[in-house]
Copies of this chain bind each other. A is one copy, B any other.
């Protein structure tokens, strides 16, 4: 599934931008051994193709007033595709849910939920998540501390 038209230079570009999303195009070009124009063309093509999905600053959640990060393990009554899809669509509309991963095994989904405080989290849990259609059980674990949080994939570096 590594796109057919992705070559070594594209891979380097993806790796560099994953590591530093604000790198200037000229610096990126220098690192991958191109001049600026073709480098920029490749970046645009990678964005078009969906290889680069977005760019984000990683912000300390506490600085924005969010103190609670919770992992929620959700099991559904039915694992029919339409029901799985319905659940995914539901949580996609909930801003507190930052990630939703469908898993194998007993747990159907793991969600990463971010909330301002315990009270707002509990309100989210009881009014938004647990009463969702098809939900059988929701087990939550509070994050005490996060010691590593790197987006993306391991780099060959």
Contact = CB atoms under 8 A, between A and B. Distances in A.
Contacts of A144: 101-104
Given A50-B60, A57-B21, A71-B110, A105 B141 contact: yes
Oligomeric state, in number of copies?
Answer: 2
A80 interface: no
A55 B148 contact: no
A107 interface: yes
A14 interface: yes
A53 B150 CA distance: 11
B55 A56 contact: yes
Given A56-B152, A58-B55, A141 B18 contact: no
Contacts of A71: 101, 103, 110
Given A92-B148, A110-B71, A148-B91, A17 B101 contact: no
Contacts of A114: 152-154
Query: What's the interface size class on A, roughly?
Result: 35 or more
A98 B155 CA distance: 11
Contacts of A67: 1
A50 B22 CA distance: 16
A35 interface: no
A27 interface: no
Given A51-B59, A56-B55, A100 B147 contact: yes
Interface in A41-76: 50-67, 69, 71
